[in-house]
A and B are shown apart, each in its own frame.
Chain A
């Protein structure tokens, strides 16, 4: 049976593995190759000179990198606080409501990010859902809270909420009830239970949720474009600009490599720590 497992495992993994090899790994290698080319060429026939990386360093692109990472971090921390009580409720308190919440939250994932962010523009703009009705009822209006830095973070919080909520709920559900009860019985207050039992035991979920959110938010750009009015240009946006308007593939590739390096490091580190069998309810 073991030999059969080994054979079938390898056989059945082949379609997906081969597909990703050709459509994920190969393109990334191509980007890596392009990033070493002299600027503004459209083929790989030149000798590598790494000039694009010099441009990345010299032209202040690091600011976009720093802003993207900072906003991703801010969104992650806010989401951690916002999602914890709800995740706790889903894992330990609610019964049927957990299902309602799960379906409700998952359904938003199927709606294009653009439409949802555009909806926020309609909600928050001057003459939008909130300001419009406010002015209608009170007679005084206010400026739209759009097109600035904080609203981009708000957008990130909005879009990536499910990616924090579900891992967190999964993490909290793995905290054994009897450990919490024993701590309570031994005299722990609610706050002490949170600090001594819940947080350390839910740590896998906290880590997965935080890293997932962080990685996705660091590579985002729709929030900045639609809500932020590009008040802050994100690194993903810079990549796109270099490829399209800039017509500078090597620069775009070099910027992409910076982003890939940061995200790849975090993602690979996180994934290597996770025991997927256990997290998905299998035997480990």
Chain B
């Protein structure tokens, strides 16, 4: 009944193939970013890193970066807070409308983001709010806060209710219970939720498109350049944004690994 070695080998090969399939377009983007030619054509004849220099010194790119970072940063912090409490209601406490609540907060995740962006644009317009990077934060949160809640919930589900009860039994009030027991125990989940929130906001395009107003994030600028004709800066800036995400993920994984390794020793 055990899967034979050969079948396992084939499955692993298939998995690597799928990973290759997922990353192949990013390889193209990466290679394109170091092609010297203004109009890209493979095979690349001359490699050059000039586009990186241009991208890193460009004022446009710096402005885009600032907007993207501001949006992602605030989204991260708010997602962690909303996600923490949202997850406790989602997974930890038994209350009357829990099942309904669980289902309702999933809806924004399924919702087509372009349409959501447009609906929000109309809504801001109706409220008399002029779209800017601040409204983009709201737009991102509609989609990201539920995801952050789900991420923290995974942790909250394995939470032993007796721990909170024990703390209360020993005289802790609600705030002390939260501070001494609940928050430390859910912290790994909240941290991953923050990472997810940052990365999803950083890479998001459809929600930003209609909600940033005169401001523009990196993915928005990239899209505009993609549809309006090739610019050699597109692969370069694209590679830079992907590299940022990748570095963040790798750092997070290393950190998680280090914490796991160090903990038993202390």
Q: Interface residues, chain A, CB within 8 Å of chain B?
A: 1-2, 5-17, 19-20, 23-24, 26-28, 30-31, 34, 44, 82, 85-86, 88-90, 92-94, 97, 101, 103-105, 107-123, 127-129, 131-133, 136, 158, 161, 180-181, 184, 212, 215-216, 218-222, 225-226, 236, 239-240, 243, 249, 252-253, 256, 259-260, 263-264, 267-268, 271-272, 276-277, 280-283
Contact = CB atoms under 8 A, between A and B. Distances in A.
B29 A85 contact: no
Contact of B119 (A27, A89, A90): A27
A110 B107 contact: no
A11 B175 CA distance: 14
A17 B101 contact: yes
Contacts, number: 296
Contacts of A272: 103
A180 B114 contact: no
B212 to A, nearest CB: 14
A112 B112 CA distance: 15
Question: Chain A: interface secondary structure?
Answer: helix
A9 B102 CA distance: 12
Contact of B29 (A26, A122, A260, A264): A122
| Chain B contact residues: helix, strand, loop or mixed | helix
Given A7-B95, A276-B90, 13 more contacts: A11-B89, A20-B105, A88-B11, A93-B7, A94-B8, A111-B26, A114-B226, A119-B24, A119-B28, A122-B25, A158-B25, A252-B118, A267-B110
22 contacts: A2-B94, A10-B96, A12-B86, A13-B89, A30-B123, A93-B7, A108-B23, A110-B249, A111-B242, A112-B222, A115-B219, A118-B234, A129-B24, A132-B41, A132-B42, A225-B227, A226-B226, A260-B115, A267-B110, A276-B103, A277-B91, A277-B102
A127 B157 CA distance: 51
B108 A259 contact: no
B234 A16 contact: no
A34 B123 CA distance: 11
Interface of B: 1, 3, 7-8, 11-12, 14-15, 18-19, 21-29, 31-32, 40-43, 81-82, 85-86, 88-91, 93-99, 101-108, 110-116, 118-123, 126, 138-139, 141-142, 145-146, 149-150, 153-154, 157-158, 165, 199-200, 202-206, 219, 222-223, 226-227, 234-235, 238, 241-242, 245-246, 249, 253
A115 B241 contact: yes
Given A89-B15, A114-B219, A117-B25, A19 B206 contact: no
